[in-house]
Structure formats: structure tokens, C-alpha cells
Amino acid sequence: TDGGGGAVGLGYALAGRIDMPYPEVFGVARSGNMALVANGLGGVQIVDIANYDAPYHIGFIRPAGYTRDVAFFEQYAVIAARS
């Protein structure tokens, strides 16, 4: 689709937003109503997205190092981090 201004891609609509402790977001993984956000020095932020208009920050996982990516594998969260 044409997003206007000559941009071509998938259309989207912003439903809600939530601030992260650090501005960098390197990866996002979703399972059901939970999203995990790789947030660099902020670790992995855990967000409840059951209500898209009002996402809710549940907590965080702070691995040793700088979090670069996150994924779900079965019932586990797999985190890529470097020291």
C-alpha cells in the first residue's frame, strides 16, 4: 500500500504506546498477550498487550550485558546479550 509521501509498504495504525527505560529497541517477541522487548542496557522489558490502547509494563529481566534480541522458544524466553 502507499503510505503517503511516496512511501510504499504495509499500512499500520498506532493504537497505544509505552515508554522504555532506554531509547533503543533491538527486538520484540510476542506470545499471546505478552510482548518481550530487547531494550539494550534496560534488559528485556515485559509488556502486557491485552489492551492495545493501554499496554501495561509488567516488569523486566536483567541479563548480564547489553540485550540485543529476544525470542520465544516453546515456553522459554531466549535472550541474546553481550557483555
Give the separation between CA 35 and CA 26, rounded to whole angstroms: 13
**pLDDT value at position 38?**
97
**pLDDT value at position 81?**
95
Give the separation between CA 20 and CA 62, rounded to whole angstroms: 14
**pLDDT value at position 36?**
97
Tens of pLDDT along the chain (83 residues) come to: 555 566 667 777 888 999 999 999 999 999 999 999 999 999 999 999 999 999 999 999 999 999 999 999 998 999 999 98
Q: What is the SS3 assignment for 57? A: strand
Give the separation between CA 52 and CA 59, rounded to whole angstroms: 17
Q: Which residues pair with 82 in a beta bridge?
A: 66
**CA trace torsion 22, 23, 28, 34 (10° rounding):** 60
**pLDDT value at position 83?**
85
